[in-house]
Structure 1
Amino acid sequence: MKLSQNQSAPLFNTLDIWQNTVSLQHQQGYKIYLAFMRNAGCPVCNLRVHELLQKADHFAKHNIKVWLVYESTQAKMKEYLSQQSYPFTFIADPENKLYHLYSVERSTGKVLKSIFNGILGKTMKGQKLYKEKISQDGHTNTIPADFLIDEKGRLQIVHYGTYIGDHLAIEQLH
């Protein structure tokens, strides 16, 4: 069942791709932008990460931590990030535990709908931003979802994508 605004965010403890503990219950005092991406080889997701990186100062100014969840393995995520330092937390979830916890959907219909919502242009832009070509290792029909969790652990904004590349506008994240 999809989550809704103002309910408590489902709590979880996991490790990021560098083996650091990521615990939602220990983040009070910060907002968390929790974004469920597809996989490291998804060029549309790569484009989104670059858009977020351009706004890193915005997140810092608004006391928002950015956590990005991928269906990729830890090894694939490290290949994608090329040992570079990023101001965000990257979580590998190839078993889809967090995806299920947050009711992230898979939909072939919504994948097809992506064609009418600029997927080809986003794909081309995202492919150009890779340092090296990365193969895809997740499900082909995962649809992104975004959540802004407030300082008290409540879902301030809930956004389930209606097609690949449908994310919250960065301006909504404050």
Structure 2
Amino acid sequence: MTRRFTPGRRIPATTLTAVAGGEIRLPDPDGLLHLQFRRFAGCPICNLHLRSVVRRHDEITAAGVREVVFFHSPADELLPYAEELPFPLVADPERRFYREFGVEAGPRSLLDPRAWRAILLGVVLDVVAVLRRRQRPPRLRQPAGRLGLPADLLVAADGRVLAARYGAHADDQWSVDELLAAVRDHRSEPAGADT
């Protein structure tokens, strides 16, 4: 039985350490928080997705949203990526937070045909980047596996989950447009409404 977070449920308060240093408070007392659960360091699908988030990061922050991205990889594997991204990464190689938030793994993550386009495009872009020495290839062996599923949660300052999406396959995650729509939906609710 999973422990998925649905709208209205509150996330536990905790303080995390970002891969590049610094503390991250969950929930964020200053505003909205977008928790992203991705796969492993160097995952082509995750790289493709995070490129889209980086391109529109100004829009996301202008909407009052802070990004925090979890990976089930060790910190040393994530550090080269963390130095290039404008938001904090959290290493969770034991998948503690994945379990706590009900984020699953399984063969369907890669076997679902809906993920294949992103897999192909992500691999091509990553191979080009590796050949140009702009990034290193992912480890062949991933300690926490390659079969993780993504998840996205939009969390209010009081810890209440406003919207959530748990992926059915490796590329089933919020686009930036879907994230911003969830923020608009939250802001358009009448004051005091409980989601």
For Structure 1 versus Structure 2, the TM-score category normalised by the shorter chain is: 0.7 to 0.9
1:92 paired residue number: 91
1:118 paired residue number: 117
1:49 paired residue number: 50
Q: What TM-score comes out, normalization by structure 1 length?
A: 0.88
Pair 126,166 (structure 1): closer, same or farther in 2 beyond 3 Å = farther
1:172 paired residue number: 178
Asked whether the equivalents of residues 44 and 164 of structure 1 are also in contact (C-alpha less than 8 Å), the reply is yes
1:23 aligns with 2:25: yes
CA distance in 1, matches of 2:147, 2:172: 13
1:28-73 CA deviation, whole Å, 9 max, x = no partner?
A: 2310010001011201101111100011111111110000001111
Asked whether the equivalents of residues 45 and 119 of structure 2 are also in contact (C-alpha less than 8 Å), the reply is no
CA distance in 2, matches of 1:75, 1:35: 19
1:133 paired residue number: 136
CA distance in 2, matches of 1:116, 1:141: 12
Pair 156,133 (structure 1): closer, same or farther in 2 beyond 3 Å = same
Asked whether the equivalents of residues 39 and 72 of structure 1 are also in contact (C-alpha less than 8 Å), the reply is yes
> Larger Cα Rg: Structure 1 or Structure 2?
2
1:108 aligns with 2:80: no
After TM superposition, the structure 1 = structure 2 runs for residues 54-65 of structure 1, keeping only pairs within 5 Å, are 54-65=55-66
1:83-134 CA deviation, whole Å, 9 max, x = no partner?
A: 34x3211111111111111111011123211466524333335414562223
Task: Please state how far the C-alpha of 1:78 moved relative to its aligned partner.
Answer: 1.1
Task: Please state how far the C-alpha of 1:20 moved relative to its aligned partner.
Answer: 1.1
Asked whether the equivalents of residues 8 and 162 of structure 2 are also in contact (C-alpha less than 8 Å), the reply is yes
CA distance in 2, matches of 1:116, 1:62: 29
Pair 102,113 (structure 1): closer, same or farther in 2 beyond 3 Å = same
1:78 paired residue number: 79
Pair 32,116 (structure 1): closer, same or farther in 2 beyond 3 Å = closer
Task: Please state how far the C-alpha of 1:24 moved relative to its aligned partner.
Answer: 0.6
CA distance in 2, matches of 1:56, 1:119: 21
CA distance in 2, matches of 1:20, 1:164: 29
Consecutive unaligned residues of structure 2, counting only runs of 5 or more, are: 184-195
- Find the partner of 1:7 among 6, 9, 33: 9
